[in-house]
Structure 1
Amino acid sequence: MRHLFLFATLFATPLSAGVPEALDEVILPGFSDFAEATKALSVAAQADCTPEAIEAPWNAAFDAWTQIGDIRIGPSETGALSVAFWPDTRGFTPRVLGNLIEARAEVGTDPEAFAEASIAARGLFALERMIYDADFNAYAPGSYACTLVRTITAELAGQGAALDAGWDGFARVMLSAGEDGNTLYLAPEEATRALYTQLLGSLEFTADSRLGRPLGTFDRPRPTRAEAWRAGRPLRNVLLDADAAVAQARALAGFDLPQTDAALARLHAAADKIDDPSFQNVKDPAARLRVEILQQHVRALSDTIEAELGGALGLTAGFNSQDGD
């Protein structure tokens, strides 16, 4: 992806000064990294489709996704859902995958056609089932399920490339906020507010869904509602997503955020006390309390960013497309 220094020079204004930095330092490299990671995953699957062979590149792709996956504007507003269909509140993914495998559906053999398949059978979470779920991961090389894995990874690589290219263009829209012809962002501060809203929305989603869903209620915890719990990723995702939100905040600020840095450090310290990174022990009161404390630190981090960054720039969050999830 082309470097945005030229665009930053042309379009930066005091009210949008953080937008070029956030794009150039965090967001665009993040989408480029995700495109590269999904390409590597697809290449690995073509060579060896078995769960053992694709586990590491799948995790690398998921790591890359955490850096930009909660951004839901521009190309990501609709494109993110088929990359990461979660939460799957009605259990569509195992049903759709099972139906494809049972029927040996032709769509599962063609990456181009698979782009029109149900989002429940596409992306990172469909692959999590194929790698880690005992109901799906016993397939043999040369089987239909093996072909399906190759199709899913190839189509995911296509999604990664499309998002990367789409953001290359959408960055110009954000950088030209307030310019003649820009009907999306009528003033420079609107682009800044859009990115600010996304990073706060990411932390809200982490607190409410990534942590709130497995916590459930005290009487009825729901550990298997944790994000990517079969892969042991729930705690890792919380930390990587929080780190990404803070990286975006630092880039938007253009000045030091010592209170935010301290809040993030406290969040990591709380995470260090959690002994099950998959959150599957939240039925135990002591384990539950540690996850609840982590949730409190995520919310405290969001509040700190609002005070330290939002207060300094005079920003308030707008509507976020993940609201209500």
Structure 2
Amino acid sequence: MKTRLPLIAALLLPVTAHAGLREVAQDHILPGYAAFAQATANLAATAETDCTGDATRAAYQQAFDAWMGISHIQFGPIEDMNLSLAIAYWPDTKNRTGKALAGLIAAEDPIAYDRAAYREVSIAAQGFFALERLLYDPSIDASDYVCALTGSIAGGLADTATMLSDAWVDYADVLATPGPDNPAYPTPEDAARKVFTALNSGLEFDRDTRLGRPLGTFDRPRPTRAEARLSARSQRNVELSLAALQDLAEKLADDPIPGTLARFDIARTSASDLDDPVFDGVDTPMQRFRVEALQQDVRDIQTVMATEIGAALGVSAGFNSLDGD
């Protein structure tokens, strides 16, 4: 029942809201979080019965797909509750996830058997990337303890997704109705800027982190730094992110954005044509060129949308939590 609430709430948003903001809230964010909550609930339920088997891996992939549809929304409840890294602790430049899980497994820490208490462990041992290690890392042997860890991490993801989905039921109205009585968004420009920043930062994360990290340098490509490499999702995450960001751009814009959409089409075609699931090919000149070309395609989206969307709304991108400190 809970997963239906955001969709019901979307229908109740005031019709006086700024048109683009209302569409973002009711047609992009609320359904996105509802799908994320539903997919992670299925993952948690599957992990309880299948542990680290094929059914749980399939449910993991579906849940990660759902996260990619909404992961760029790094404001509102996810920021207020500081939950982003508990969902996706990446980049993990110091292998904190591997070390945290290794410590838990070596000690067989009983906290793994308590789903609620497990939320207090290091965030590096929570979320999608901790679960990826347990499901896909061949160096981790299946055991009753690993099954318990899998269940608690999957359950924690489901709990977090439900919290966020429920919180957005109320916050959607905050975003969609800016005004002098709204301390979060006193003007439509404040709210539009927040969404536009999320859009721009999502593209920047795709360009500089999802693509840039495995590219490394010409002399030293770093394919092992690709996101979700163990679960073979590196290219897929870029494709799904671009699709979600295009949808957000269309919802936010009040006027037609043909230039932005044309460049999204170019970038999405380039991404799907890579045929390199974990970016292993970045150490070859031709494949490296194709990934660099995709980076430029994403830059082109940002350049055009700055005018077609940002300037039209009277806003430019501001700070986003994905930008770091």
Matched ranges for 1:7-26 at <5 A: 7-9=13-15, 11-12=16-17, 16-26=18-28
Matched ranges for 1:75-86 at <5 A: 75-77=77-79, 78-86=82-90
Out of 45, 65, 69, the residue aligned to residue 67 of structure 2 is 65
How far apart, CA to CA, are the structure 2 residues paired with 1:316 and 1:100? 45
TM-aligned CA deviation for residue 110 of structure 1: 0.9
Where 2:321 maps in the other structure, the secondary structure is coil
How far apart, CA to CA, are the structure 2 residues paired with 1:128 and 1:272? 23
In structure 2, the partner of 1:124 is 128
Tell me the TM-score normalised to structure 2 length: 0.94
How far apart, CA to CA, are the structure 1 residues paired with 2:106 and 2:277? 33
In structure 2, the partner of 1:151 is 152
Q: Deviations over 1:199-230 (max 9, x none)?
A: 11100011010000000111111111111011
TM-aligned CA deviation for residue 283 of structure 1: 1.0
Residue 246 (structure 2) pairs with residue 246 (structure 1): yes
Partner AA of 1:72 in structure 2: Q
How far apart, CA to CA, are the structure 2 residues paired with 1:51 and 1:75? 33
Residue 101 (structure 2) pairs with residue 97 (structure 1): yes
How far apart, CA to CA, are the structure 2 residues paired with 1:46 and 1:132? 17
Partner AA of 1:229 in structure 2: R
In structure 1, the partner of 2:142 is 139
Partner AA of 2:309 in structure 1: L
In structure 2, the partner of 1:310 is 310
Where 1:27 maps in the other structure, the secondary structure is helix
Contact kept? 1:273, 1:290, Cα under 8 Å: no
Where 1:8 maps in the other structure, the secondary structure is coil
In structure 2, the partner of 1:189 is 189
TM-aligned CA deviation for residue 270 of structure 1: 1.6
Contact kept? 2:101, 2:130, Cα under 8 Å: yes
Contact kept? 1:51, 1:130, Cα under 8 Å: no
Partner AA of 2:55 in structure 1: A
How far apart, CA to CA, are the structure 1 residues paired with 2:201 and 2:119? 28
Stretch moving more, 306-315 or 93-102: 306-315
| Count of matched residue positions in the alignment of Structure 1 and Structure 2 | 317
Contact kept? 1:232, 1:277, Cα under 8 Å: yes
How far apart, CA to CA, are the structure 1 residues paired with 2:26 and 2:319? 24
- Structure 2 residue runs of 5 or longer lacking an equivalent are 1-5
Contact kept? 1:214, 1:279, Cα under 8 Å: yes
How far apart, CA to CA, are the structure 1 residues paired with 2:191 and 2:312? 16
Q: Deviations over 1:170-204 (max 9, x none)?
A: 21221332142x22212122111101110111000
Q: Deviations over 1:87-109 (max 9, x none)?
A: 11110001100111111111111
How far apart, CA to CA, are the structure 2 residues paired with 1:303 and 1:280? 29
Contact kept? 1:115, 1:155, Cα under 8 Å: yes
Partner AA of 1:62 in structure 2: F
How far apart, CA to CA, are the structure 2 residues paired with 1:44 and 1:292? 39
Partner AA of 2:23 in structure 1: E
- Structure 1 residue runs of 5 or longer lacking an equivalent are none
Q: Deviations over 1:16-75 (max 9, x none)?
A: 321110010011100010000000000101111024221111010000001111211111
Matched ranges for 1:1-325 at <5 A: 1=6, 2-9=8-15, 11-12=16-17, 16-77=18-79, 78-136=82-140, 138-140=141-143, 143-180=144-181, 182-324=182-324
Q: RMSD of aligned C-alpha atoms? A: 1.4
